[in-house]
Homo-oligomer: A and B are copies of this chain.
Amino acid sequence: MLLLHKALVLGLRQTYRLKSTPSRLCIQACSANDSFQPQSPRLTSGGNSSTGGWRAMGTLLGLGAVLAYHDHRCRAAQESPRIYTKEEVRSHKSPQTGIWVTLGSDVFDVTEFVDLHPGGPSKLMLAAGGPLEPFWALYAVHSQPHVRELLAQYKIGELDPEDNVAPTLETSDPYAEDPVRHPALKVNSQRPFNAEPPPELLTENYITPNSIFFTRNHLPVPNLDPETYRLHIVGAPGGHSLSLSLDDLRKFPKHEVTVTLQCAGNRRSEMTQVKEVKGLEWRTGAISTARWAGARLCDVLAQAGHQLCETEAHVCFEGLDSDPTGTAYGASIPLARALDPEAEVLLAYEMNGQPLPRDHGFPVRVVVPGVVGARHVKWLGRVSVETEESHSHWQRRDYKGFSPSVDWDTVDFDSAPSIQELPVQSAITEPQDGQTIESGEVTVKGYAWSGGGRAVIRVDVSLDGGLTWQAAELDGEEQRPRKAWAWRLWQLQVPVPTGQKELNIVCKAVDDSYNVQPDTVAPIWNLRGVLSNAWHRVHVRVIP
């Protein structure tokens, strides 16, 4: 019986793979808002749609397996439902306790199914102890009758309908109005909220779904009313200032562009292993890609009378997020970049075809292709052109790189330029460090990106710590010359050398200026732990 069941799932796994390939390149559906509100689909155990699913599976897998499966399912459905609290479900998220998940009000014990999950055990484990809906929203493949039928056999009961107490709102907490976030996000700081998608989700889609796009907030999320929102553009001398509503901004020509954002602190955790740094412990996920739409900053600045100066000037942005003293987040970019139509700097009001989620700057944020995330100011309130860079802490006293010899006693922040374009970067997302893989063949996956519109032209992968290399296959959208604003995903399927008990997998990328990543972390270590772009290394054990 178990063997037949396994055959069924393997068959399903094939369907899944076939279907998942095209879906990788298209934008995944994601909720219009950032707070994920679980819907409550009831399992249809039987009925017409179900019968259609059965037929398809019968064709695919052969009648024997289907009949055996059907038998299994019917027995599961006959058991009378028990009632569980959410707390009880949450306490079941490991092989030791059993692995439970919910869909709508139904509770499932999927302990036995985890290893058979067509998308791999690690992805199902992300949902352990909680609802499946936020994850199914990421993977369209689940919205098929046969998937629900497969799940039905693991039903062990239902959620307590009384167990729906809203969390107490502490009004004195400046973060009390922060939005609800996707449970898959790995939280590095709750207040302000900073979180990254887990590696195995990060490169599952070329376009990162809004709900798991990495979030780097410096302050509480402001709760802005789109009706009364105004963006203030300070006019040029002799020009005139603008106060733009969201509708006013929409009247400018709408410009769309796919851009990868990366936090300067991405992969900081690797620097911490060399020596302590100040900053959040980002792993490889402080990077994501979206399709942004909005008005071009150059068009808006032109309407306010701004044009290129002979002398260097800067466009300063101020957010509507602020600390208790009223200090707002701020940053600036050179005016030359802001006014260059080819640089495609946006005042964005859409992210992947939806209004910006609150965590990503609703209603308007700056998007500066090729430039460090810190300059993409969210909840944008004010834009001005100045002779100097923004005086914000984050422009002048943060987000700068220093020699490894500089410490907090000797640092002179004025001696280094603020980070704008980022250096070439890549990381491995599969397999993960410490993982055990099977002998035979391994698929190594990851992402690669470079700042300033420089395209990634090659990713080299090594299984032996960097002694020998093989070029990976580049996936994802081919980028335009000089405007390679978005990452390339990559993978390499490669035989595991026979007899090898462990692999030291390494990746390094090359951009079209032939810049490469440095070999090791220590020589680029810096006190803020930014610009961590050494070769990415993962160590895995091989099951003989």
A residues apposed to B, CB below 8 Å: 312, 334, 336, 401, 403-406, 416-417, 419-424, 451-452, 457-458, 460, 466, 468-471, 481-482, 508, 510, 512-520, 523-524, 531
Q: List 16 A-B contacts (CB under 8 A).
A: A312-B481, A403-B470, A404-B460, A404-B468, A405-B469, A417-B512, A419-B514, A420-B513, A422-B513, A422-B514, A423-B515, A451-B513, A515-B515, A516-B518, A516-B523, A519-B519
> Which 7 pairs from chain A and chain B are nearest by CB?
A519-B519, A421-B513, A423-B515, A515-B515, A403-B471, A423-B514, A514-B531
Are B515 and A424 neighbours in the complex by a CB distance under 8 Å?
yes
**In the bound complex, how far is the Cα of B336 from the Cα of A470, in angstroms?**
33
Contacts of A452 in B (CB 8 A): 452, 513
**In the bound complex, how far is the Cα of B469 from the Cα of A336, in angstroms?**
34
Most-contacted residue by chain B among A405, A471, A515 (CB, 10 A): A515
Are B403 and A469 neighbours in the complex by a CB distance under 8 Å?
yes
The closest CB in chain B to the CB of A482 belongs to: B336
Are A512 and B405 neighbours in the complex by a CB distance under 8 Å?
no
Q: Which of B424, B451, B468, B481 contacts A334 (CB 8 A)?
A: B481
**In the bound complex, how far is the Cα of B452 from the Cα of A334, in angstroms?**
17
Contacts of A422 in B (CB 8 A): 513-514
Are A520 and B519 neighbours in the complex by a CB distance under 8 Å?
yes
How far apart are A229's CB and chain B's nearest CB, in angstroms?
33
**In the bound complex, how far is the Cα of B422 from the Cα of A119, in angstroms?**
42
**In the bound complex, how far is the Cα of B98 from the Cα of A211, in angstroms?**
79
How far apart are A24's CB and chain B's nearest CB, in angstroms?
23
Are A405 and B516 neighbours in the complex by a CB distance under 8 Å?
no
**In the bound complex, how far is the Cα of B531 from the Cα of A419, in angstroms?**
25
Q: Take A404-B469, A405-B469, A469-B403 as given contacts and tell me if A519 and B523 are in contact as well, using a CB distance cutoff of 8 Å.
A: yes
How far apart are A272's CB and chain B's nearest CB, in angstroms?
19
How far apart are A504's CB and chain B's nearest CB, in angstroms?
14
**In the bound complex, how far is the Cα of B468 from the Cα of A482, in angstroms?**
36
Contacts of A482 in B (CB 8 A): 334, 336
Are A470 and B514 neighbours in the complex by a CB distance under 8 Å?
no
Extra 11 A-B pairs, beta carbons < 8 Å, given A421-B513, A519-B520: A401-B510, A403-B458, A403-B469, A405-B471, A421-B514, A423-B513, A423-B514, A423-B516, A424-B515, A516-B523, A519-B519
Are A457 and B417 neighbours in the complex by a CB distance under 8 Å?
yes
Contacts of A405 in B (CB 8 A): 460, 468-471
The closest CB in chain B to the CB of A481 belongs to: B312
Are A460 and B334 neighbours in the complex by a CB distance under 8 Å?
no
Are B514 and A401 neighbours in the complex by a CB distance under 8 Å?
yes
Are A469 and B419 neighbours in the complex by a CB distance under 8 Å?
no
Q: Take A460-B404, A469-B403, A518-B519 as given contacts and tell me if A512 and B336 are in contact as well, using a CB distance cutoff of 8 Å.
A: no
Contacts of A423 in B (CB 8 A): 513-516
Are B513 and A336 neighbours in the complex by a CB distance under 8 Å?
no
How far apart are A416's CB and chain B's nearest CB, in angstroms?
7
Are B531 and A508 neighbours in the complex by a CB distance under 8 Å?
no
Contacts of A404 in B (CB 8 A): 460, 468-469
Most-contacted residue by chain B among A423, A466, A508, A520 (CB, 10 A): A423
**In the bound complex, how far is the Cα of B468 from the Cα of A406, in angstroms?**
11
The closest CB in chain B to the CB of A467 belongs to: B522
**In the bound complex, how far is the Cα of B517 from the Cα of A517, in angstroms?**
8
**In the bound complex, how far is the Cα of B406 from the Cα of A468, in angstroms?**
11
**In the bound complex, how far is the Cα of B460 from the Cα of A416, in angstroms?**
13
